[in-house]
Amino acid sequence: MARLLGIDWDQRFLRIVEANVQGGKGVLQRAWVWEEQVCPNPAQAEEAGRRLKERLKEAGVAPAPVRFVIGRDGVICRDVLYPDVPANEVPAIVNFQAGKDLSIPIDEAVIDFIPNRIPGPAGEKRALATIIHAELLRSIEKTCQAAGLKLDCVSASGVGHVSNWQAATGPSSGAETAAVLVLNSSGGELSITRDGQLLFSRVLVSPRADGGARALLPEVRRTLAAFETQFPGAPVRSLNVTGGSTTEERQELATVLGMPVTGYEVFPAAVGRDIPPTRRGLLAAAAGLVQARKPLQADFLNPKRTLPPPSRKPLYYAVGAAAAVLFLVGLFIYWSELARRQQRLEELQASKSKLQKQISDLGDVEKRLEAINTWANGEVILLDELYELAARFPDTPGLRITKVTWTPVAQPTSQPATTPGSRTPVPARPQLNPAPKPVARLVIQATGEADRLEKLRAALNSAEHWKLDLWEKDVPSAGTIQATLKVFRIPARDYDRIMETPEHTTIGMTPTRRAVPERGGVEP
């Protein structure tokens, strides 16, 4: 009997589900959860593969095709609107829309999408685009190869949660908009579905260490409100919870949210009987992937691609056969064939001109894209940098900054090359791993005693995106230092320091970290 393995592996836990395939879908047999120090990433892929092989041998599990889960934190989700176009053109349009303003290079992004039946505000078609970094996919492939396993598909955790819920409650549960809340030790993940298709997915972080459904109530309310703002014609009608909720918690959620709240089990009691109820939610995504029929809603290993145009070979065969028959007629066929070849020559010349124009146009597109990338890579929020400087300034009496100068650094652009014997410029090939370049120069002048100035120097050196280039004493006057720093660009989410009330008159901070807001599946 055919078998499948579902694997969900993050920085804390390795979860494996084994299933037998019956009627095209998996029937759960056994499940395991282990705490692990390694996980599939570029630096640990081979070691993770060896560890996975050891765990399977320890559990007595024979190799089988693997369906691998990528957690919501590793997936970028975007709501994409597109016009009503032929089906073979939809993947190209969705990929183009989803690739705008990505935080990763577009050529390193793996994009798949889940179309849905809810129209956009102006009647457009709609799809949920799911995006991962190609480096993550390569790490998963390398891990499975090192473990001696064949990778069958790779999908997002939200797809597995919806599939597992449908397998537990029956296929009719997808007829209306419903929310699925899977609880875990740090909070949970909320997925919203309609007609069996994933519409929305968001990680919820519990404000309490003991977690539970009751602690997530404010986050659930905010997420449902954001979804209904984005999808006004598809309000959520029910909430389904798994992963260790109590009847009292579900009743409280139902009272506050004003909708039915029901619980369901990730797998039957005979499967994973040794796994505590509070940990069973960790297996929901892996169980759902093996329970789903192929093709999956989203598969990063085999994403949806533009279909090729219909083949013209049958037409060419018919023309060739007709020409062969007419050739027997005699001189008339000779002139017909000559005319046909002349027409073909004209078509080729026209095609050549068209291709040359396309090559020329692509050169202009590359220039524009490079200009946009250069501008984006040089963008820095000055207020965040000033806040960072204030937060890192030592809380030491007698130390004072007298002057701060901010100077942007122009970003270099590459010039297109020209092939020998051609006037058409060829876009320069991008570097695979370009060295980071500073986007600005920060010059600070400060006064104070020598030991206090050294504290300032240590604080400036502690910033990962600053590089202390010069430290000049007695400049521009005695008792004054001038520090010159190179500033490198970092994402906005990494500006996470918080200034607290100082003990002295000089502004200082306690090295706590700013809470980074969780990002939902799609910004409303």
* pLDDT higher than 50, residue 513: no
Structure tokens that stand for 19 in this block: 């299933």
Least confident span in 103-107, 229-233, 268-272: 268-272
Query: DSSP labels for 180-209?
Result: EEEEETTEEEEEEEETTEEEEEEEEE-SST
Q: How far apart are the first and last CA of the chain?
A: 46
Give the closest residue to 284 by CA, choosing from 263, 267, 300: 267
Cα separation, 388 vs 460, whole angstroms:
10
What is the mean predicted confidence (pLDDT) over 314-337?
Answer: 81
Beta bridge partners of 70: 156
pLDDT level of residue 508 (50, 70, 90 thresholds): very low
pLDDT level of residue 320 (50, 70, 90 thresholds): confident
pLDDT level of residue 336 (50, 70, 90 thresholds): confident
Structure tokens that stand for 7 in this block: 């694997």
Task: Name the strand (E) or helix (H) holding 388.
Answer: helix 382-392
H helical segments located in 82-232: 90-98, 134-146, 157-169, 217-230
Coil, strand or helix: which one is 87?
helix
Output b/e per residue, 30-59; b: 16+ Cβ within 10 A: bbbbeeeebbbbeebbbbbbebbbebbeee
User: What pLDDT score does 433 carry?
Assistant: 65
* pLDDT higher than 80, residue 113: yes
On whether the CB atoms of residues 278 and 266 are closer than 8 A, the answer is no
Name every residue whose Cβ is closer than 8 Å to that of residue 390 and which is 6 or more positions away in sequence: 499, 507, 509
Alpha-carbon radius of gyration of the chain: 30
What is the mean predicted confidence (pLDDT) over 95-105?
Answer: 89
Task: Name the strand (E) or helix (H) holding 351.
Answer: helix 331-377
Name every residue whose Cβ is closer than 8 Å to that of residue 311 and which is 6 or more positions away in sequence: none
The residue among 238 and 317 whose pLDDT is bigger is: 238
Classify residue 365 by its DSSP letter: H
On whether the CB atoms of residues 457 and 469 are closer than 8 A, the answer is no
* Three-state SS annotation for 409-469: CCCCCCCCEECCCCCCEECCCCCCCCCCCCCEEEEEEEECCHHHHHHHHHHHHCCCCEEEE
Q: To the nearest whole number, what is the mean pLDDT of the chain?
A: 85
Coil, strand or helix: which one is 8?
strand
Structure tokens that stand for 133 in this block: 């970094």
Task: Name the strand (E) or helix (H) holding 309.
Answer: none
User: What pLDDT score does 415 carry?
Assistant: 56
**Chain segment 36-57, per-residue pLDDT in tens:** 999 999 999 999 999 999 999 9
- Angstrom CA distances, 299 to 42, 108, 131, 332, stand at 21, 16, 10, 57
User: What pLDDT score does 186 carry?
Assistant: 83
Cα separation, 475 vs 176, whole angstroms:
71
Coil, strand or helix: which one is 524?
coil
Give the closest residue to 477 by CA, choosing from 407, 393, 403: 403
**Chain segment 386-437, per-residue pLDDT in tens:** 888 888 888 888 889 999 998 888 766 655 555 455 455 555 555 556 678 8
On whether the CB atoms of residues 61 and 7 are closer than 8 A, the answer is no
